[in-house]
Amino acid sequence: MKKILISTDFSETATNAIKYALELFKYDKSDITIIHAFADEVYENTTEMSRDYFEEYKDEIQGNVNNKLQKVILEILEISPNPRHVYNSQSKFGSIVDVINDYVDSENVDAVVMGTKGKTDNPKITFGSNTVKVIKYVQCPVLVVPATYHDMHPKHILFPTDYMLPFKRRELKLLSSLAMRYVSTIQMVYVSKTKHLSHRQLDNQMFLDSAFDNNKFKFLQIEADNITETINNTIQDQNIDLLVMVNQRHSYLEDLLYNSTIDKIGLEIKIPFLVLQNLRRE
pLDDT digits (tens, 9 = 90+) for 216-225: 999 998 888 8
Q: What is the pLDDT of residue 60?
A: 93
Q: Is the pLDDT of residue 173 over 60?
A: yes
Max Cα distance, the chain (Å): 66
CATH fourth-level superfamily of 2-145 = HUPs (3.40.50.620)
One-letter amino acid identity for 22? Answer: L
Q: Where in the chain is the domain with CATH 3.40.50.620?
A: 2-145, 156-277
Q: Is the pLDDT of residue 158 over 90?
A: yes
Q: Is the pLDDT of residue 126 over 60?
A: no
* Residues linked to residue 107 through DSSP beta bridges, in sequence order: none
Q: Is the pLDDT of residue 34 over 90?
A: yes
pLDDT one-digit tens code per residue, 231-266: 889 999 999 999 998 876 555 555 555 544 444 444
What is the distance between the alpha carbons of residues 123 and 137, in angstroms, rounded to a whole number? 25
Q: Is the pLDDT of residue 43 over 50?
A: yes
CATH fourth-level superfamily of 156-277 = HUPs (3.40.50.620)
pTM over 0.85: yes
What is the distance between the alpha carbons of residues 21 and 13, in angstroms, rounded to a whole number? 13
Q: What is the pLDDT of residue 128?
A: 65
Spell out the residues 6+ positions from residue 123 whose beta carbon is closer than 8 angstroms to its own. none
- The string over 208-239, giving b where at least 16 C-beta atoms fall within 10 Å of a residue's C-beta and e elsewhere, is beebbeebebeeeeeeeeebeebbbebbeeee
